[in-house]
Chain A
């Protein structure tokens, strides 16, 4: 019995605790830095009175600086607007395309499905240079539309793929019944199948939203004026002046920029996980 308990500690509790601490420590560090006054932040690492893991004088100074010296709320709004709009477009395209690929018979269906799957695997960093040129030519540079239209390049394939899988799990009979009752093919899709697919739509939407919130390289290249930027780009380009890192403000910005997406995630954990595991299912 004692040996059993000892084993459980070594093989289970201790490794799990190490995983938890390792995973969450950077976030703790982010938070504690954001609330720590500057004179404590830049104290020599060998100083005797150095207490890195807590602070006795928490301060909101960094948050005040962040809000006073940058257009941070604006960045938050931009990120939110862009994420919602591109998620909306991607869900629209993904729903229609996913339904067609799952249910309809037409020539080239297999090839199109494969094609969309292949675009799913194209990373944004392969195409950012020509894409920047195209955005310039379309005169979309430095507008939110540059991102709202390009984020769907990685969101549409994902949404299509996920929703296609979801539609395949809905029995065909439901649709056939509706059609016997006189519904058109399109009407059956809209009024019978889509409402059943709401959990799948929600999963795809939540996942797409977090992906857009996370995106960096397109936002870095396509946006230039400070008030148009998204949170990740604004933090990188406006809070490092020259070679100087304002760590307090940086961490305050990182914390505030993480909260919305963490909140969305915490409300919809189950849907997010379905989206995540569905994103890799064949």
Chain B
């Protein structure tokens, strides 16, 4: 019995000795190497940097090259200078596309901001079932856009539209509204669907911003006799501005480069009247196989994105500087 105890103690002692032993082997030398801050940083950043270089930086350089060449599928192209850009610029469909992209981005962002702000203010109050209402408000943002846009397309259907039915029954219209069959209508329908999808993102991020505002400020303002509108304008809005700017910048980028919503809702039609830059680039570059021209059209997004990103970076710097 005593022997056993001794034996156990012995093996435990051996373990104690065994623990520091691997310190002299290879992995430990590597670990000591990792103590060097620069080296560790290099190792930790490598996967992300490699991945982003291969799949973002490299395609970007290649995209610029493609846009300056006459490449199409299966045919290696030659350098043609800025001919693709000039050709696009003089193309009436492209001009329409560019106009659409700006109109779509401007109005959709404006609607998302105003409605999102309104919804955030409503959700910031206390009421029964608040949690479930908040959670369900985010659904349009969670459900894959392609799938929910199909539901909208079905609601806008030329023959079986439920919206037409409601308006007809309500006595507002006598003939069907041409939701997606008229170019001007179709772009506005797309703006509505985009607003529907993106508004929850605004509402929830702005709500998070609202919740950080100290209620005492509002109380002080109402004691000073400020009405609801004044309180919003002079207390809430200035405090909410930083978050709002960042959300708007994100939304502008997303909306300006939108593809899936238009692809499903109108496919760019009728008669190419609702294309955005991304869908038109897809039509030329992928469907028609003109890689050079398609790449040139998607690069037309670049200057606008550059300006927006620059604003964002400057703004973030300024915030950090404060």
Contact = CB atoms under 8 A, between A and B. Distances in A.
B41 interface: yes
Contact of A277 (B48, B62, B205): B205
Contacts of B140: 23, 26
A60 interface: no
A282 to B, nearest CB: 5
Contacts of B49: 97, 112
Given A247-B154, A258-B144, A26 B165 contact: no
B305 A121 contact: yes
A26 B62 contact: no
Contacts, number: 286
Interface string A250-264: 110110011001100
B143 A96 contact: no
A125 B145 CA distance: 15
B44 A100 contact: yes
B interface residue count range (under 10 / 10 to 19 / 20 to 34 / 35 or more): 35 or more
B282 interface: yes
Interface in A242-277: 245, 247, 250-251, 253-254, 257-258, 261-262, 265-266, 269, 272-273, 276-277
Contacts of A266: 135
B45 A96 contact: yes
A132 interface: yes
B291 A129 contact: yes
Interface in A189-243: 210, 213-214, 216-217, 220-221, 231-233, 235-236
Contact of B305 (A22, A123, A130, A277): A123
Contacts of A282: 246, 316, 319-320
Nearest to A239: B150
B180 interface: no
Given A23-B137, A149-B55, A214-B145, A130 B62 contact: yes
B196 A22 contact: yes
A18 to B, nearest CB: 10
Closest CB pairs A-B (n = 3): A123-B257, A125-B278, A254-B147
